[in-house]
């Protein structure tokens, strides 16, 4: 195979940015994993379920504050950063004022509904943290697309270290969920001050924003907004349904399994940070071949990352839940097995959605996400009570997991069909075939080996990995490409 055909400059630059930001993400994900594993162990299922319900409510409430602009902003900043500088301040003001009003309304609604002061304060603190998180994500998006990836990578690491140390100190000191919420709020506020000062100095943000551009950016982002709201809804309907119908115990078990699955999804932001601006630049230059090459490469990397992670979560679900969360969370092992395939599907659906958006069909992606909301609501309505009655311990949580898997499968298939012209690549087909063969071998190995313990799980996963390599899922050209990526000169590193 001719190396020149597979290593275009745009792909190399995108890969180098991915390595820089991915290294940062790996470090921050490791720290977050440690803390997220400690939380349920120290808090217990009930308190952990309460914390996650409050966080889920706040996350869902404040997805509205994004206005869907961050995805639009990345595309704008990649092509014309000066235009973005004219409307970011206006977005910050609108989001900040709207967020404070929403927090006050949420706390008032809880009070009128008879909720105690503890829950009111918890929701208020998590809500304010979400307001700051939304603002911080905007400034980070600007830095990803038009700034210095190395600087934002270092900033992300520093912030995560600060948060991790503070939360661990609270847990060791036997602090409760309110102390953890205070820590999150303080860290996000410090991050906001730091990112704001950087953006004003480097990108020349206008103190008096262009109102017309601000409104225009919001209107242009409506399909992204609808898509974001829909995704947040169908990602949280299961947890909300469990909290309302099955109680905090089932919600805590489901949250523990979902938290572990979410660890495998921590690479997802890279797709937006890297793929969106680079495909936008390719589209602006009218280079459809380059854009398709970026999409196909991202799909292949997503398969090679997501499927092995999903396979590991499936075969090691039983021993890992007990080891990481404690005996109280062992009933959640079947929940993790059911949710494991959603890891690979989530990566694939995100890349396919970016491909469809790149072709200007943003509203179609939003419509598919809305259909996902209806699908997951219908599935939860049927599967949660069915699971509670038929599946025993953590049965309701298993039903919610089946609903999440069914929704992810439907959404991924729809997006894959719509984006099929962007990923016609023989290397991608070969990788998918190899991964499929590996999964077959993994299944057969799992049937033969004992069902419990880490040793059988490791043996089954190794049989999967060896099969993928032997069938040709990765090859010599991959190593040549990544050697080119990692052997960049200091001037190329920026």
* 95 neighbors 65 (Cβ within 8 angstroms): yes
Q: Tens of pLDDT along the chain (494 residues)?
A: 334 444 455 566 666 666 677 677 778 777 877 887 788 777 777 777 777 777 777 776 666 677 777 777 777 766 777 777 777 878 888 888 888 888 888 888 878 877 778 878 888 888 888 888 888 888 887 776 665 677 777 888 888 899 889 988 888 887 788 888 899 899 999 999 888 888 776 766 666 667 777 787 778 777 877 877 777 777 677 777 777 777 777 777 888 888 777 777 777 776 776 676 767 666 666 666 777 777 877 788 888 888 888 888 888 888 888 777 777 787 888 888 898 888 888 888 888 888 888 777 888 888 898 898 889 889 988 888 898 888 877 788 888 889 989 999 999 999 988 888 777 778 888 888 998 898 898 888 887 776 667 788 888 889 988 998 888 877 666 665 556 555 654 334 44
CA distance 78 to 142: 9
**What is the structure's pLDDT at 116?**
77
**What is the structure's pLDDT at 379?**
92
* Residue for token pair 């000062």: 197
Dihedral, 406, 411, 414, 418 alpha carbons, nearest 10? -160
- Apex CA 252: angle with CA 51 and CA 460, to 5°? 125
What distance lies between CA 487 and its chain's CA centroid? 29
CA distance 451 to 266: 28
Q: Where are the domains positioned within the chain? A: 3-486
Phi-psi region of 394 (alpha: psi -120 to 50; beta: other; left: phi over 0): left
CA distance 442 to 334: 18
Say what the pTM is: 0.69
Q: Is the dihedral of CA 404, 406, 410, 413 positive or negative?
A: positive
Q: Where do runs of H (alpha helix) occur along 86-205?
A: 88-112, 117-146, 149-172, 177-203
CA distance 336 to 401: 8
* Residue for token pair 């007990």: 322
Tell me which residue of 444, 435, 421, 446 sits closest to 472, measured CA to CA.
435
**What is the structure's pLDDT at 12?**
61
**What is the structure's pLDDT at 490?**
39
* 297 neighbors 222 (Cβ within 8 angstroms): no
Q: In this structure, what token pair is assigned to residue 319?
A: 């021993």
What SS3 state is found at 210?
Answer: coil
Burial (CB count <10 Å: 0-12, 13-18, 19+), residue 244: exposed
* Residue for token pair 């059988």: 456
Tell me which residue of 245, 296, 308, 252 sits closest to 435, measured CA to CA.
308
């Amino acid at each position: 195979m001719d190396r020149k055909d597979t290593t275009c400059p745009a792909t190399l630059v995108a890969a180098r940015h991915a390595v820089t930001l991915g290294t940062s993400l790996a470090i921050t994900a490791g720290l977050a994993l440690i803390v997220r594993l400690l939380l349920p162990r120290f808090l217990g299922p009930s308190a952990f379920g309460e914390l996650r319900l409050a966080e889920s409510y706040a996350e869902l409430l404040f997805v509205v504050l994004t206005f869907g602009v961050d995805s639009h902003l990345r595309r704008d900043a990649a092509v014309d950063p000066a235009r973005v500088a004219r409307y970011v301040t206006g977005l910050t003001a609108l989001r900040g004022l709207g967020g404070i009003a929403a927090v006050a309304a949420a706390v008032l609604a809880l009070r009128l509904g008879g909720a105690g002061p503890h829950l009111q304060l918890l929701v208020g603190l998590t809500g304010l943290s979400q307001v700051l998180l939304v603002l911080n994500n905007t400034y980070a998006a600007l830095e990803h697309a038009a700034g210095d990836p190395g600087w934002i990578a270092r900033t992300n690491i520093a912030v995560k270290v600060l948060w991790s140390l503070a939360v661990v100190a609270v847990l060791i000191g036997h602090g409760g969920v309110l102390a953890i919420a205070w820590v999150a709020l303080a860290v996000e506020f410090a991050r906001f001050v730091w990112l704001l000062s950087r953006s004003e100095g480097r990108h020349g943000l206008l103190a008096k924003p262009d109102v017309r551009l601000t409104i225009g950016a919001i209107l242009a982002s409506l399909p992204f907004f609808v898509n974001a709201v829909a995704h947040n809804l169908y990602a949280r309907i299961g947890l909300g349904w469990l909290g309302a119908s099955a109680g905090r115990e089932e919600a805590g078990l489901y949250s523990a399994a979902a938290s572990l699955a979410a660890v495998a999804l921590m690479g997802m932001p890279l797709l937006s940070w890297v793929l969106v601006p680079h495909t936008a630049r390719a589209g602006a230059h009218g280079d459809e071949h380059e854009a398709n090459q970026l999409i196909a490469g991202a799909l292949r990397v997503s398969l090679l990352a997501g499927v092995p992670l999903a396979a590991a979560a499936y075969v090691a679900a039983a021993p890992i839940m007990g080891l990481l969360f404690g005996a109280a969370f062992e009933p959640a092992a079947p929940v993790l097995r059911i949710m494991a395939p959603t890891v690979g599907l989530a990566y694939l659906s995100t890349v396919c959605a970016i491909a469809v958006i790149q072709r200007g069909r943003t509203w179609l992606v939003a419509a598919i996400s809305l259909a996902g909301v209806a699908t997951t609501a219908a599935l939860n309505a049927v599967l949660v009570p069915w699971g509670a009655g038929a599946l025993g311990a953590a049965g309701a949580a298993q039903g919610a997991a089946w609903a999440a898997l069914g929704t992810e499968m439907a959404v991924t298939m729809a997006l894959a069909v719509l984006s099929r012209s962007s990923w016609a690549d023989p290397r991608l087909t070969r990788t998918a075939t190899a991964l499929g063969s590996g999964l077959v071998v993994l299944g057969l190995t799992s049937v033969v080996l004992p069902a419990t313990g880490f040793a059988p799980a490791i043996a089954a996963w190794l049989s999967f990995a060896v099969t993928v390599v032997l069938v040709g899922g990765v090859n010599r050209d991959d190593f040549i490409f990544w050697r080119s990526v990692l052997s960049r000169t200091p001037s190329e590193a920026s």
